[in-house]
Structure 1
Amino acid sequence: MWANSLALRLFLWAVGWTIAIVLVTGIVLSSLYRNAVERAFDGRLQVYLRTLVADLANPETPDDKLSDAVSEPLFDLPLSGWYWQVTRTDTAKPQIRASRSLWDGGLPKLPMTDANASLSVRAGYVNGPEDQRVRLVERNIDLGEEGTYLVAVAGEAAEIEDDVRAFNRALFVTFFSLALILLLTTALQVQFGLAPLKRISQQLAAIRSGQAERLEGKFPIEIAPLAREANALLEANREIVERARTHVGNLAHALKTPLSVVMNEAAARPDDPLAQKVREQADVMRDQITRHLERARMAARLTVVGTVTNVAPVVHAIARTMEKTNRDKDLRLRVDTPEDARFRGEQQDLEEMVGNLVDNACKWAQSRVAIEVLKEHTDDSRDVIRIIVDDDGPGLTPAEREQVARRGRRLDETKPGSGLGLSIVVELAALYGGSFTLGTAPLGGLRAELVLPAA
């Protein structure tokens, strides 16, 4: 349903942008939260650092009492992940005092970079004892004659990672739910927004199939101009067809009157060779005028959109008419047609085609004529109706079948008619994209098959 559709493209565009926005926002928020957690953690470490610095600068604090300055039990627990270390750096051999938690280990120094060289307090990640990853802050202290010191305090980085990981899980669940809601909302909006276009498409299909004549209903302000222009186009098409019909009729009347005068004048002089030639050519002219005017009339009707005709009433009406006009022959006409068969075209064209076929069958039939209508689906995915007219007359040879389809050709001049009937059927069927064939009927006579587009 969505294949190669505007709705699918809009939805995929929304999916792409939603995923991109959610990912970028999630990464930014996670980074900001990590920075905030690190700053808070560093602030906690700096409290311990300042306490150590204060006691170190106090001359009354004995060296062996320096560890009492930090009241944190984790600094007394071996390899707890929380450590402090004070290193005197102005002596030949550095003098180190450290928390009990360091056991026999020590804290590495942070690498000196351009970014932290000017800072009084530096912070970063290092590997502590047992390769524990710790967050470390350090500061250089100059106590003058008391010496210079590097004071460092470290805390287990796992606390930061656990906190950030918990935040990221909550962030993922929240953003996943939000993205899902946004995508569902977008899908509904796309479907709702394109619903008027789908309604227009359905109504145009109804117009094409003859179920409606124009687009009806209220449309959004963005779609309303399209509906108005479509209705205006349909009206303009109908007006053009009506004008064409009027011109064809006017031309027919304008030509027939002078042509009749010429033929009458020629008929008044039966012995005049010139009059005979004029009458002969006038017959040809009348035939050509009738042919081309009929083609113009048919082509004009075919441009009308949405014309559909029920086949069953037309066939039954023609059968009843032919039974009445052929009472002297005692013909039996059998009609077999589904009630839901519909021809995509005008009723008068269907009447003309079927009427010519049935009339021709009745002229040549001995006692029976059969009319059958079938609904079929062709190999090229078209719905068609097949109209079959059989009679029990003498039938035709293949050469005669080809001859009678030509305009004005009659095999038996004793039968009434102009010889135009079957050729009109051929032309009308071709204009509708159908076909007409002749064959041998099971009844023994001629079979005429007419294939036309179905609605």
Structure 2
Amino acid sequence: MKYSLRLRVLMASGLILLISVGLIVFSVMKSFERVQLDLIKKELAVGTNVLLTAASIVDQKLVMPHRMPDERFNQVESEVLGLVLDRKGVVLWRSHSSLDEILYYSVQFDEKKMDFSRYSGPEGSYFLYDVDVVLDGVPLTFLTMIPATEYEEMFVAFRSNLLISLSLTALMMMIVLWFGMHWSLIPIRKLADNLQRIESGHTSRLEGVYSRELVALTDALNQLLNNERQQRERYRDAMADLAHSLKTPLAVLQSVQHSQTMQKNAGCEEVGIIIKEQVHRMNQIINYQLQRAVTRQRGLVKHQTDVAGTVGRISRTLNKVYYDKQVELSTDIEEGIQFSAEEQDAMEVLGNLLENAYRLCLQQVRVCSQTVSQDGKCWVLCQVDDDGAGVPENRREDILKRGVRADSRTKGQGIGLAVAMDIIDSYDGTLTIGDSELGGASFKLMLPI
């Protein structure tokens, strides 16, 4: 699958932005989590120090003041909870803020432990700060807690806001990037449009002012187009001169042959037949050389030729030529299918294939054409079948060579298919010969779209 340069850049930029947004969200959320947990830890540590400062031991029993210095422990609706437990986990004291809380916390006494952790139990989720001390010989666990619900809600809200903000930012960046790409690719799009105009034959060179980076390319392409056009003209002029120089002697030979055939002398008739054959051969050679000179110098301009229309014009002519044979032609041509070739070249190739089919068939000829995919490319397939004698497998490659004919009993010089092959090669196409379902030969022509 082919993608435009703009789409490639946008896809790559979108992928980079997506990865960047993901990394930013991960980094920011980790930093936010670390900062929030540090703040909660410090808050709980301060509360634990308040409990330690207020605690005293009298007769091996814990004594706590009725009101704590930190008012958060005295308020019933406060979220900061305070508890003091003995070694077995029995609650010896709890703050007013924790009176309605049920805690199933398992104490593992360790005199040197100062632990900050997150606790989740049936009663909910809490952040805990646990300090184990031995106060006047009595092992005690001072525990401060705060519900994790508020933190979780804040964490989710912050993450949602961060994702929305970064997504909007990324979308704005993509829009700006798209406009930037659109503006930056204007010279390339202009160059592509001009190349399409050249291919369609509307102009012969790249016109307009291009950016500094494309000037060297456009100048080189214009020079290439100019050289190619001049070379084609030189070849065409040379072949035209050759054809013109041969017209007069050919005309003389034809007139002599005509005058000789008007006479009833048998010897003159034989001379006339010989002259007629040689004139016909010279005409074929001239046409072949002219066609080869043009097709081997195919330029950059790409033409489109309607397959159905071309087959129709050729078949109408051949039906007149082979009127006595009453050939039955059937067609199965995909609607709107076109050859990427000049009309003259398409007429030459299909004309050769259809003329051979008409000449060698018994009565039936079939033409099928459709688009196919092969080797990752799109092709136009045109298949010409007949019900004749067919082509032996050991001769299929040979008859595509100049001067070799499939049927030596018929007239011709064997250069028709060679001309067709020259044209097909110039368009990077292929021509293969196989067996037809009608019983004769099957010629499969494939040209790239």
TM-score band w.r.t. shorter chain: 0.5 to 0.7
Deviation at 1:277, TM superposition (A): 6.7
Contact 1:86 1:152 in 2 (8 A): yes
Aligned positions of 1:36-185 closer than 5 A: 36-56=35-55, 64-66=63-65, 68-72=67-71, 74-78=72-76, 80-89=78-87, 94=90, 96-103=92-99, 105=101, 107-109=103-105, 120-127=113-120, 131-143=123-135, 145-185=136-176
Cα separation, partners in 2 of 1:306 and 1:9, compared to 1, 3 Å? closer
**Residue type matched to 1:167 in 2?**
F
Contact 1:123 1:138 in 2 (8 A): yes
Aligned positions of 1:39-438 closer than 5 A: 39-56=38-55, 64-66=63-65, 68-72=67-71, 74-78=72-76, 80-89=78-87, 94=90, 96-103=92-99, 105=101, 107-109=103-105, 120-127=113-120, 131-143=123-135, 145-220=136-211, 223-224=214-215, 226-252=217-243, 281=274, 284-297=277-290, 300=293, 303=298, 306=301, 401-402=320-321, 430-431=347-348
Provide Cα deviations, 1:124-165, integer angstroms capped at 9, x if missing partner: 22247x81422111112233x432321111112223123323
Contact 1:138 1:151 in 2 (8 A): yes
Q: Distance between the aligned counterparts of 1:214 and 1:431, measured in 2?
A: 28
**Residue type matched to 1:214 in 2?**
R
Cα separation, partners in 2 of 1:256 and 1:155, compared to 1, 3 Å? same
For 1:415, the equivalent position in structure 2 comes to: none
Q: Distance between the aligned counterparts of 1:401 and 1:26, measured in 2?
A: 79
Deviation at 1:194, TM superposition (A): 4.0
**Residue type matched to 1:123 in 2?**
F
Deviation at 1:183, TM superposition (A): 1.9
Deviation at 1:167, TM superposition (A): 1.7
Q: Distance between the aligned counterparts of 1:298 and 1:173, measured in 2?
A: 68
- SS in structure 2 at match of 1:152: strand
Provide Cα deviations, 1:337-392, integer angstroms capped at 9, x if missing partner: xxxxxxx79xxxxxxxxxxxxxxxxxxxxxxxxxxxxxxx9797x9x9x99xxxxx
Contact 2:111 2:134 in 1 (8 A): no
TM-score of the superposed pair, with normalisation by structure 2: 0.56
Kindly name which structure, 1 or 2, has the bigger radius of gyration based on alpha carbons.
1
Sequence identity percentage: 18
Please, which runs of 5 or more residues in structure 2 have no aligned partner? 324-342, 355-449
Please, which runs of 5 or more residues in structure 1 have no aligned partner? 308-343, 346-376, 388-396, 405-425, 437-455
CA RMSD of aligned residues (A): 5.0
- SS in structure 1 at match of 2:55: helix
Deviation at 1:47, TM superposition (A): 1.1
Deviation at 1:168, TM superposition (A): 1.8
Aligned residues: 324
**Residue type matched to 1:402 in 2?**
V
Deviation at 1:27, TM superposition (A): 2.8
Cα separation, partners in 2 of 1:283 and 1:304, compared to 1, 3 Å? farther
TM-score of the superposed pair, with normalisation by structure 1: 0.55
